[in-house]
């Protein structure tokens, strides 16, 4: 099935509506890195028509960008390359830092790790409450004018924060968490994106693997795996979400699709969206084509809502992932 594409303002090449997310490739919070599998995963994504790849300096403290830079040598022009800015770390502890000096430092480091002379989409990873948005936005707009960045995006910003930032620099995209189980953006961010012609890069469309359809109640998370502290993966909530998963499989089966394809299609049918498909092994890319070429009906959407309403009695969002401000 042919991939679907969308135009992001400021970027000449259309972007695939399923993007490869590379957080897990960095290793940090996902049980360690596996560079060989990461390279094979990038190869597989390109082979199936994914041309938008999203990364960030904080993913493995630079390691994800390094892997991507090596993997794209000789074929950088095939990809819409997205990374981020505005986080810092000390002794492994991450905090928000969108000062002009930090932005300049991060840009040079990212370009070097990614082995490129420009970034297509440069996104502020989290709003920094201790740095004026004007300082951040003007620094980034200057970089765009200099040609090292094609377009700007914001990640984890509220509509009010986006309004303030956009006074000083244009924005093409917003990247919030969004999936069948985490739908807070429908109240404000998604309508804001529609009104202001922004593309939504929805991260976590499989909800940290919950919507892969492969998890069971006895699954054990080890090491530094993020899901050890994710409230969704703790009992009794975990069983509620797993019950919903089994019921959602019936909707997918009616279309002859996997739950994974249903979860991605649901995101694509909700608005001007791109689904960020996080993967670290090539087999995790298998099935991406099944998300294209069909849509969910209003009846399907209503049935999904009924399932969620009856199975998940104690829902929780992704708030636990937010990093602190600078001390």
- From first to last of its 327 residues, what are the pLDDT tens digits of the chain? 578 999 999 999 999 999 999 987 865 544 556 788 889 999 999 999 999 999 999 988 889 999 999 999 999 999 999 999 999 998 878 999 999 999 999 999 999 999 999 999 999 999 999 999 999 999 999 999 999 999 999 999 999 999 999 999 999 999 999 999 999 999 999 999 999 999 999 999 999 889 988 888 888 887 777 788 889 999 999 999 999 999 999 999 999 999 999 999 999 999 999 999 888 788 888 888 899 999 999 999 999 999 999 999 989 888 877 888 877
Q: What is the largest CA-CA distance in the chain?
A: 53
- Tokens in use for 268? 């694509």
Active-site positions read 59
Tell me which of 3.20.20.100, 3.40.50.720, 1.10.10.60, 3.40.228.10 is the CATH number of domain 5-209+261-295: 3.20.20.100
């Amino acid at each position: 099935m042919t991939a679907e594409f969308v135009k992001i303002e400021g970027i000449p090449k259309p972007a695939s509506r399923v993007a490869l997310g590379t957080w897990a490739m960095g290793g940090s919070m996902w049980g360690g890195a596996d560079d060989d599998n990461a390279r094979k995963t990038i190869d597989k994504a390109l082979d199936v028509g994914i041309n938008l790849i999203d990364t960030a300096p904080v993913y493995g403290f630079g390691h994800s960008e390094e892997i991507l830079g090596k993997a794209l040598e000789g074929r950088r022009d095939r990809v819409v390359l997205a990374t981020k800015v505005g986080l810092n770390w000390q002794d492994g502890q991450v905090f928000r830092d969108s000062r002009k000096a930090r932005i300049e430092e991060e840009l040079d480091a990212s370009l070097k790790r990614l082995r490129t002379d420009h970034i297509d989409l440069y996104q502020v990873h989290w709003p920094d409450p201790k740095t004026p948005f004007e300082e951040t936005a003007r620094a980034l707009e200057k970089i765009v004018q200099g040609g090292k960045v094609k377009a700007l995006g914001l990640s984890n910003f509220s509509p009010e924060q986006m309004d303030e930032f956009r006074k000083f620099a244009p924005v093409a995209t917003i990247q919030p968490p969004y999936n069948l189980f985490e739908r807070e953006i429908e109240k404000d961010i998604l309508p804001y994106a529609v009104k202001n012609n922004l593309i939504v890069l929805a991260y976590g469309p499989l909800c940290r693997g919950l919507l892969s359809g492969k998890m069971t109640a006895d699954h054990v998370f080890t090491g530094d795996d993020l899901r050890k502290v994710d409230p969704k993966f703790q009992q009794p909530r975990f069983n509620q979400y797993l019950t919903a998963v089994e019921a959602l499989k019936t909707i997918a089966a009616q279309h002859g699709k996997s739950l994974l394809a249903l979860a991605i299609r649901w995101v694509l049918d909700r608005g001007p969206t791109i689904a960020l498909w996080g993967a670290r092994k090539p087999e995790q890319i298998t099935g991406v084509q099944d998300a294209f070429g069909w849509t969910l009906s209003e009846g399907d959407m209503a049935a999904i809502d009924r399932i969620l309403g009856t199975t998940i009695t104690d829902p929780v969002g992704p708030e636990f992932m937010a990093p602190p401000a600078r001390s």
